[in-house]
Structures are given as structure tokens and as C-alpha cells.
Amino acid sequence: MKRAVREAQPVPPLFKGEFPIIVEGLVNRFGPQVVHDGLDLQVRRGEILGVVGGSGSGKSVLMRSIIGLQNPAAGSIEVLGHSMTGAADDQGDIRARWGVLFQGGALFSTLTVAENVEVPLQQFFPELSDDLRHEIARFKVRLSGLPEEATSKYPSELSGGMRKRAGLARALALDPELLFLDEPTAGLDPIGAAAFDELTRSLTDTLGLTVFLITHDLDTLYAICDRIAVIAEKRVIAVGTIAELLQTEHPWIQDYFNGPRGRAAKATDAHLAASASASASASASASAGPGAAGQAADAGGASGWSQANAGDRSGAMDKTGHKGA
């Protein structure tokens, strides 16, 4: 009798490493204070996951646990297939596969921007020649939207927004697969914050990053996050798109997204979507129409979008007050 030959099943593209970060049953304590108690979270490859929660709910401690800076009391954390809670041997050079932008940038104040970016390159690739290291650092600085002349400046000579970009350049130094951002837009003015959001989204898409983004900024959540994880009661109480989260009854989620700030951010987002689609149809009809009219419509569409973007975000801020620093 002929044996049935089972055809090889193609491996679904997302099977391998579909979740580059998997946290299960995480417990973190500081003395008697329990910060996490059975926290579970899976971060999908290629997404920007926004992480929200009240002040002190344990967002930064979660991030520190994931990147191995905080030893949990219990639970398991797997990053890119490596256990962060098991033996250090299992972790290999995993630290070279992520980049972190800490709150405030955490730049070395005695080093220039370029030298800051070179620190991880020197640490993980000591064999690189000085010239190549300088060149990579310059490229990362430009990639982060800073001008060439910023490379030789010290952090104290930069604006807050420039310092964030310098921190981002350093986080991107090693071509990471994962990017951790801790409150990247805190302290930025609305225009700077919107620009940083756009940069994060475009780098994520271009470089194929997976982003773990801690934020209090509702505009950021609406503008660039694919899903949002909500931390409350010492664990992740919900994960999903904003529309999905709004369907949950949890009072913190309702207050957060349906409070005055949440409503303002939602209105901004709806307005931006309408502007973008109006501008898209304007340029579509313009490109079908006569040249001069087409150019005018295109120019109007482009500048109209950026003004709406900046203006609406500022408008949201006027209604909602100053963002947390």
C-alpha cells in the first residue's frame, strides 16, 4: 500500500518571530510595592505598540524588564527568541539588536552627538575602522533628521527636540530590529511632537522596525500607533486598536480615551484623515487636469496638510492643556 505523502506545508511568513517580544506572568516588586503582578504582553513584528497607563503604573519598569535592566521577581520574557529571564548565555548579543531612546535622551553630556552615536558602535563592533564608524554615525544623525552640523555639537547646545533626535540616532546606531521609545514626545512643542511622530512612523516602515513606545501623548497614539497596550491594576488590562479599546467597559480606558483630551485627539485625527483624503483627491483630479492648475492644487494640498497637522495638534493642545514633560 502506498503511503500517503504529506506535502510540505509552507511556513506562514509570520510564524517565525511573529511576536518578537513575549512577556508572560511578569511580576516586579520593589520591597513591599508590587508594580506588576502577572503581566502578559505580546508585541507583533512590524507594529508600533503604544504603551499607556497612569503615572507609576509600571510602563518604564516593564520596558526595563524587557531589555534586561530590571530583574523580575517572576515570569518569563522572550525577546527575538531569547529568554531575558533565563541564563545570560542564552541572550547572546541580543542587546545589539535593539535600540533604546530613554526619557530625556540620556545622552553623554561630554560627548558630541556623533560621539554619542559611536558609543554603541564601539561597544559592539570594536573592529570597525575609525573612518567607517564616523561615517555610520554621521549617516544615523542625518537619518534622524538632524542637520550635518549637529554631529559636532554637544547635547547642551541642542534644543529639546534635537536632543530627542540625537538620542534616536544613537538608538538606531546598530540597525536594530526593535526600537524602545520612552515618552519620545514629552516636553516637545506640538509641531515638534508631530514631526517626531512622523519620523518614527516613516523610520518604522522604511527600516522594518518593531516599536515599543511608552507615551502619555494621545496625539501620538492616534497618529502612529498600530495597537495600544493599557497597563492598570499591575497588568496589561487590554491591547488593541483605539476602536477596539473603546469597546471595553473599563473605566480607566473610557476616561482616558473619552475624556476631554481623548476627544480632542480623536477630533484632530478625524480632521487630519479628512484633510489627507481631500488633499489626495485634489492631487488626483489635479494630475488629470491642466498643468498649472495641477501644480497649484498639489502645492495647496501639501502645505495644507502640514499646516493642518501642526495647527490641529496645537489646537488639541490648546483644548487639552500642556503635555506632561
Ligand X SMILES: Nc1ncnc2c1ncn2[C@@H]1O[C@H](COP(=O)(O)OP(=O)(O)OP(=O)(O)O)[C@@H](O)[C@H]1O
Residues contributing to the site for ligand X (CB under 6 A):
30, 35, 53, 55-61
Output the CA torsion sign for 214, 218, 222, 227.
positive
DSSP per residue over 122-160, as a string?
A: HHH-TTS-HHHHHHHHHHHHHHTT--GGGGG--GGGS-H
Tell me whether residue 55 or residue 129 sits nearer to ligand X (CB atom).
55
**Among residues 30 and 108, whose Cβ is nearest to ligand X?**
30
Nearest-approach distance from CB 324 to ligand X, in angstroms: 8
**Closest approach of Cβ 231 to ligand X, in Å?**
7
CB of 137 to ligand X, least distance (A): 29
Task: Write down the least CB distance from residue 267 to ligand X, Å.
Answer: 24
Residue 259 CB, nearest distance to ligand X (Å)? 16
173 or 230, CB closer to ligand X? 230
Cell numbers for 48, please give them: 508600533
| Nearest CA-CA partner of 101 in 169, 41, 23, 177 | 169
Measure the CA–CA gap between 38 and 132, rounded to whole angstroms.
45
Q: HSE-up of 3 (CA within 13 Å, CB side)? A: 3
Q: Which of residues 35 and 80 has its CB atom nearest to ligand X in the complex? A: 35
β-strand pairing of 227-232 with 48-53:
parallel
Q: 26 vs 297, which CB is nearer to ligand X?
A: 26
